[in-house]
Amino acid sequence: MEKKQRFSLAIQIFIALALGILVGILLQGKGDFTKAYIQPIGTIYINLLKFMVVPIVLFSIIDGTISLGDIRRVGSIGWKTFVYYMATTAVAVVIGIVFATLFKGFFPLLQTAGLKYEAKSANFMEVIVAMFPKNILEPLLKADMLPLILMALLIGVGILLSGEDGKRVGKGVKSIYTVVMKMMEIIIRLTPIGVFCLMTNVIAINGATIVSSLGIVLGVAYLGYFTHIVIVYGLSVHLFAKISLMKFLRGMMPAMTTAFTTSSSNATLPLTIQCSNDLGADPSVSSFVLPLGATINMDGTAIYMGVNCLFIAACYGVKLTIPQLISVVLTAVLASIGTAGVSGAGMIMLAMVLTSVNLPVEGIALIAGIDRLFDMGRTTLNITGDATAALAVSQWDRAAKAKRAKKAN
């Protein structure tokens, strides 16, 4: 019965997406109308999702840590997740570079004179320091994911080490988490309405831009997104989760369409958790892996950087060497950690990559106007990658438990 209901939601969301595109096309040139009367409904939906992010991350990680029952198991899951995210990000930026190299002859050579772009900075040590909040309320009020994850882990470990008193607190946490998940289910039922309103507004405002001079650059990025899903994620779910790519994509459809329309990994997190668990992820694993992925896993952003780095280089008449391309890969992977939890991380990461190969940061202005369209695809890829990690790490954790049980016998 539950499976039928989930599939029904996926169909509703897909229909809402298609209708949003159709209505958006019909309302071309009437962006003021969609901004005034349609977008606000979509914004309310996004706000409701964001409203649920902090309680879900906080209580899911605490509950997940308690459910794991062993601090060593928490550490094992942590390093496996980190390695998986870094590996897929490295592959993603390589895919972006390969496709950009193949199609760069078709890229428009736009005028670069007089370009201006002020890049935000992100110091790695500042990010590390910011992970440790000054008080317990700060990460809750600001919805800062890294400090929130760290705080939830610390509370969870504290409960584990507190014996009988900890068990009583743990029961309370589980009860609160159950209530939070029920609230999330209510909000998720509104997803088709939110998707329709957000998609209508995006197409009404940006539809003409898609076929403009930057359409080929956008198309190459989306080709990279699609390839990464089919090859990297297809292999991952087949080898580690033992499910087909089509089954995985059908199960992830509600989360993917929400990510596509909201362009927010954090706002999509409630749906990502639900879809991943329904596909077979261990809730105690996904409650840790997915919030972390929403912060540091940036496969879509990595492809975006690879494509746009070569596009900007072409506009400036610069041909990147092999060592410089290797530098792009390494910088992109490190930047995904160094900008974790930073607002506007995509643009900051691209600025860091451009700087690493001595390209003018002002080149970002060339694609800034359609960054929203890039962001829709890269966010979708990011959350899809989070789900594959949850499934893979869950399978590895089950295998490790079975091995320990076999040794005990």
pLDDT in tens, 119-147: 555 555 766 777 788 888 888 888 777 78
> For the residues 342-350, what does the mean pLDDT come to?
67
pLDDT score of 11: 82
Confidence of residue 112 (pLDDT cuts 50, 70, 90): low
**CA separation for the pair 349, 366 (Å, rounded):** 16
Most confidently modeled of 43-57, 332-346, 357-371, 395-409? 43-57
**CA separation for the pair 145, 148 (Å, rounded):** 5
Indicate if the pLDDT at residue 267 is higher than 90: no
Integer CA distances (angstroms), 50 to 187, 380, 381, in order: 11, 17, 19
> For the residues 369-391, what does the mean pLDDT come to?
90
Q: Is 321 helix (H, G, I), strand (E, B) or coil?
A: coil
> For the residues 285-302, what does the mean pLDDT come to?
87
Amino acid at site 17: L
The percent helix, strand, coil of the chain (3-state, each to 5) is 85, 0, 15
Range of the domain at 185: 2-408
pLDDT score of 21: 87
Comparing 124 with 54, the larger pLDDT belongs to 54
pLDDT score of 3: 45
> For the residues 268-296, what does the mean pLDDT come to?
89
| pLDDT tens track for 185-222 | 888 888 899 889 988 888 887 766 555 667 889 999 99
Indicate if the pLDDT at residue 91 is higher than 80: yes
Give the CATH number, domain containing residue 396: 1.10.3860.10
Closest-CA residue to 262 (of 342, 194, 179, 334) = 194
> Of 312-321, 359-368, 377-386, which range is least confident?
359-368
pLDDT score of 139: 84
> For the residues 103-124, what does the mean pLDDT come to?
67
CB 251 within 8 A of CB 278: yes
**CA separation for the pair 283, 299 (Å, rounded):** 23
Indicate if the pLDDT at residue 1 is higher than 60: no
Cβ neighbours, 10 Å, residue 133: 18
> For the residues 155-167, what does the mean pLDDT come to?
88
Record the pTM: 0.82
Q: What percent of the chain has pLDDT over 90?
A: 29
CB 316 within 8 A of CB 363: yes
> For the residues 302-313, what does the mean pLDDT come to?
91
pLDDT score of 228: 96
**CA separation for the pair 73, 66 (Å, rounded):** 11
Indicate if the pLDDT at residue 338 is higher than 70: no
pLDDT score of 2: 44
Comparing 102 with 333, the larger pLDDT belongs to 102
DSSP state of 109: -
pLDDT score of 244: 94
Q: Total domain count for the chain? A: 1
Comparing 329 with 389, the larger pLDDT belongs to 389
